[in-house]
């Protein structure tokens, strides 16, 4: 967390080489959302994101400053992946899918997304991150020690209390689809505050791009039918980004109606 904060505190000239609005750049720093030119309201955030797998290749495109960034974040990404796989293993056991179900292609890829929300003079005018569910399989979120994350439950936004050195674990859209809606991805957003900057790090565990996602047959009860058609993960991502993560709409093209 310290090295992430140090990154955002660097002078602009040290960050400019990473700054880009080109979605094709795998490692990039940008402001607001990926859609800055077309969004109605800008978000009060900067975001640094880069892939973490395969580590030996990706690390070469990560920020070079702070000088210890690559070493520390490499260790972090390995541990976050291990933790995520342990949680997936437990979820798999709980669902009765057996050991290793989420290993391999379903969890092959990983992406680190680091958010920085500077103090905002008027938090009522904007958000840190708009409402969404994470598009991936599972998220390991380090939300730091400041309030800002909210989850939508029973028609209300509820603040998620920051617990020191604890992670927030989010079920992503893919886990909901594979489980045929037995697990639900949680809708969430981040608000800003006028007092202090807030830095958060989301480690996304993703299927590989060409991995085929569909409800697992063993999770479709005899009186049920599959709620989603098979698709490639990259197709989901393309649709998700064109809808800017709108949680009401982004599952629609994949839904089957019995
Ligand atoms: C995200 C996210 C919440 C936060 O990056 O997907 O939901 O508190 N972040 O930064
Ligand atoms: Ni999220």
The pLDDT of residue 203: 98
Q: Which of 43, 114, 200, 203 to mutate to test the pocket of ligand 1 (most atoms within 8 A of CB)?
A: 200
The pLDDT of residue 10: 98
Instruction: Find out whether the beta carbon of 48 lies less than 6 Å from any atom of ligand 1.
Output: no
Q: Which class is domain 1-254?
A: mainly beta
**How far is it, in rounded angstroms, from Cα 213 to Cα 207?**
8
Contact criterion met (CB below 8 Å) for 133 and 187: yes
Q: What are phi and psi of 82, to 5 degrees?
A: -60, -45
The pLDDT of residue 41: 86
Instruction: Find out whether the beta carbon of 77 lies less than 6 Å from any atom of ligand 1.
Output: no
Instruction: Find out whether the beta carbon of 144 lies less than 6 Å from any atom of ligand 1.
Output: no
Give kind and range of the element (H or E) at residue 188.
strand 188-190
Structure-token pair, residue 25: 């750049």
The pLDDT of residue 37: 83
Closest CA to 70 of 7, 130, 139, 20: 7
Contact criterion met (CB below 8 Å) for 147 and 195: no
Ligand lying nearest the CA atom of residue 47: 1
Q: Give the residue ranges of the chain where pLDDT is below 50.
A: none
The pLDDT of residue 39: 82
The pLDDT of residue 100: 95
User: Where along the chain do its domains lie?
Assistant: 1-254
The pLDDT of residue 33: 86
The pLDDT of residue 258: 72
Closest-CA residue, ligand 1 atom 6, reads 134
**How far is it, in rounded angstroms, from Cα 191 to Cα 122?**
11
């Amino acid at each position: 967390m310290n090295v992430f904060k140090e990154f955002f505190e660097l002078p602009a000239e040290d960050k400019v080489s990473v700054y880009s609005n080109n979605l094709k750049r795998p490692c990039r720093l940008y402001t607001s959302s990926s859609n800055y030119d077309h969004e109605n309201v800008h978000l009060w955030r900067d975001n640094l994101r880069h892939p973490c797998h395969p580590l030996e290749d990706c690390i070469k495109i990560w920020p070079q400053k702070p000088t210890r960034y690559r070493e520390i974040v490499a260790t972090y990404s390995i541990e976050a992946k291990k933790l995520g796989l342990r949680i997936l293993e437990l979820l798999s056991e709980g669902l009765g899918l057996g050991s290793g179900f989420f290993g391999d292609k379903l969890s092959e890829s990983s992406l680190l997304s680091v958010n920085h929300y500077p103090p905002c003079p008027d938090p009522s005018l904007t958000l840190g991150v708009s409402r969404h569910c994470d598009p991936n399989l599972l998220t390991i979120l380090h939300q730091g020690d400041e309030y800002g994350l909210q989850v939508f439950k029973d028609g209300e936004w509820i603040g998620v209390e920051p617990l020191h050195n604890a992670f927030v674990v989010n079920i992503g859209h893919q886990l909901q689809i594979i489980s045929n809606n037995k697990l639900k991805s949680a809708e969430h957003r981040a608000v800003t505050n006028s007092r202090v900057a807030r830095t958060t790090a989301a480690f996304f565990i993703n299927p590989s791009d060409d991995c085929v996602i569909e409800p697992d047959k063993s999770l479709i009860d005899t009186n049920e039918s599959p709620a989603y058609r098979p698709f490639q993960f990259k197709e989901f991502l393309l649709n998700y980004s064109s809808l800017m993560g709108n949680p009401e709409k982004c599952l629609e093209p994949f839904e089957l109606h019995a």
